[in-house]
Amino acid sequence: MIFFISVVTYSQNVTSPYSIIGIGDIETSYFNRTSGMANTGIAYRNNTSVILNNPASLSNLQNQLFIVELSGRGRIVNYSGTGVAPGTTGKDFSVERFSLGIRAAKFWGIAVGLMPFSTSNYSFNGTTSLQGTNTTLPVTYNGNGGINRFYFVNGFRITKNLSIGVNTSFLSGSLTRSDSIFTADQNTGVFTTKNIYLRNLYFDYGLQYHIPVSKKWDVSLGATYSNQTDLRAQTTALVKDERGDTLSNQTLSNNFFTLPSSAGAGIAITKNKNLSFLADYRYQNWSSLNMSGADYRLVNSHRYSAGVEYSKLKQYLGVPYEVYNLQAGAYYNQSYLDIGNEQITDMGFTIGAGLNSKRSTLSYHLSAEIGVKGSKFTPVKETYAGFTITFSYKDFWYTKGKKFD
């Protein structure tokens, strides 16, 4: 299992120019079944899948279920904007999430795992002034890194219809910002690498309420909430010359990056237990933090998404299991970045399909999305297409004798 953990890396190669701001791009995807429904799932429950959208949903895992999930995402992005050459593209594929989930007791589901919290990846050329003159020197700027989220989720069923849950995450990672300054003849240079180490615990609370309206219809409501959290940030700087000799190595500062309080609400309406309509709203309270920079401000973000899922069910020994599923979704996100008085929006469509083989063991889920981040009014517009693939390995762990729910 440690092998899997080491495999979930953050070497995304797609450049994200806005990831220079703050702690990079904060991940909005859960890399799971709900990715086919635009990651809509605050009110979603599935008994054979780890749904991290709402920690309370863990309480619905099938009895004595043991599940391992691994997800990867591939993307291709086309960039446009002032200063971007036409036809500039980037692509990548990387493993994003690892989860281990079990139903520990009749009312209690647990999941642990690793997924990205934020990533930063950018590269551009600029200039810096040659101090003591009116001329400039060329500089290459690079950014890498991101924050990982090691999570431990517990979901509890309080009553037949009410579940609560808490996702205890340890956010940890480092952002690297480096710049390379060269002298005019390109033979000598100064290479500065700043590393910002961030860490803290982060809690996400969730609640789900299930209302069986009639024999055909079910309604679920969900809500999530996180507190404002300060990430401890330590910045170090290493300066080297062109031969690799260290010129300076020091700790610059120890302060905080504040993550805002956030909340979410969702609804799911299910017909005949196999056709679901979902809608989510997620909100992050950045404005009260008053974070801003040269020409940007961090403002409240709002994400609206909706999805539909059809699940083909069959009965096996009295227990319904899913043969396959089909999904579609759409999202509209007003992100927390406001650059030059223009809030960056991210919108798109998704589709998804999943397949479960026979009784349990392996399941596959593939989702695809297509979207646009930014617009012609923002400095850079990204048009992207991507897919998320999730592999699940399910099994039952035995106590004394088989038990069926």
Partner 1 sequence: MTIFYKKQVLFLLLGTVMITACQKTPIQFGQAYVDNSFSNIVLVDTISPQLSTVFVDSTVTSGSGAMLAGDYPDPYFGKVSAKSFFELSPSGGVTLSHNPVFDSLKLILIPNKSFYGDTTVNCDFSVYQLSNPMSFPQFQNVFYNNTNFAVNATALGSFAGRIYPNITDSVFINLSNSMGQELLNQYKENDATIQSATNFIAYFKGLRVGSSNGNMQAVYGFKDSATLRLYYHETDVFIENKHIDFKLYNSDNTQFNQVLSDKTGTPVAAFNSAKKELLSSETNGSAYLQYITGFVPKIKFPSLNQLYLRPDFVKIIKADLIVKPITGSYPTSMPLPPILYASETDQNNLPGGDLIDATSSSFQTGNLVLDNLYNQNTQYTYDVTSYLQQQLAITYTNQNGLLLIPPAPTRIASFNRAIFGDKTNKQGAIQLKLFYVSVNP
**DSSP 8-state secondary structure symbol assigned to residue 19:** G
Of residues 141 through 170, those in contact with partner 1 by CB under 8 A are 141-142
Residue 105 burial (CB count, 10 A)? 12
State which of residues 158, 211, 275, 362 lies at the interface with partner 1 (CB under 8 A): 362
Distance in angstroms (rounded) separating the CA atoms of residues 150 and 347:
28
Q: E-assigned strands of 272-404?
A: 275-284, 296-298, 301-316, 319-339, 342-356, 361-373, 380-396
State which of residues 20, 263, 355, 366 lies at the interface with partner 1 (CB under 8 A): 20
- The DSSP result for 103-123, as a single string, is EEETTEEEEEEEEEEEE--EE
The residue among 213 and 362 lying less far from partner 1, judged by its C-beta, is 362
Distance in angstroms (rounded) separating the CA atoms of residues 356 and 194:
46
State which of residues 81, 170, 310, 383 lies at the interface with partner 1 (CB under 8 A): 81
Distance in angstroms (rounded) separating the CA atoms of residues 163 and 188:
62
Q: Is 80 exposed, middle or buried (0-12, 13-18, 19+ CB in 10 A)?
A: middle
State which of residues 39, 54, 118, 121 lies at the interface with partner 1 (CB under 8 A): 121
The residue among 398 and 404 lying less far from partner 1, judged by its C-beta, is 398
The residue among 242 and 328 lying less far from partner 1, judged by its C-beta, is 242
Of residues 293 through 312, those in contact with partner 1 by CB under 8 A are 293-296
105 interacts with partner 1 by CB under 8 A: no
The residue among 168 and 176 lying less far from partner 1, judged by its C-beta, is 176
Q: Is 376 exposed, middle or buried (0-12, 13-18, 19+ CB in 10 A)?
A: exposed
134 interacts with partner 1 by CB under 8 A: no
Of residues 363 through 402, those in contact with partner 1 by CB under 8 A are 379-380, 391, 393, 395, 397-398
HSE (CB half, 13 Å, CA atoms) of 316?
Answer: 9
Minimum separation from the CB atom of position 141 to partner 1 (A): 6
**Range in contact with partner 1 (rule: CB under 8 A) among 45-53, 166-174, 175-183, 204-212:** 175-183
State which of residues 105, 107, 183, 312 lies at the interface with partner 1 (CB under 8 A): 183
Residue 90 burial (CB count, 10 A)? 17
The residue among 103 and 177 lying less far from partner 1, judged by its C-beta, is 177
Give the x-and-dash track for 196-235 against partner 1 (CB under 8 A).
----------------------------------------
**Range in contact with partner 1 (rule: CB under 8 A) among 54-62, 188-196, 297-305, 327-335:** 188-196
342 interacts with partner 1 by CB under 8 A: no
Distance in angstroms (rounded) separating the CA atoms of residues 43 and 268:
5
68 interacts with partner 1 by CB under 8 A: yes
Distance in angstroms (rounded) separating the CA atoms of residues 328 and 354:
12
Number of residues that bind partner 1 (CB under 8 A): 74
The dihedrals phi and psi of 6, each to the nearest 5 degrees, come to -70, -20
Give the x-and-dash track for 85-104 against partner 1 (CB under 8 A).
---xxxxxxxx---------
Element (H or E) spanning 6, and its range? Answer: helix 2-7
123 interacts with partner 1 by CB under 8 A: yes
The dihedrals phi and psi of 114, each to the nearest 5 degrees, come to -140, 135
Minimum separation from the CB atom of position 267 to partner 1 (A): 34
State which of residues 126, 273, 288, 292 lies at the interface with partner 1 (CB under 8 A): 126
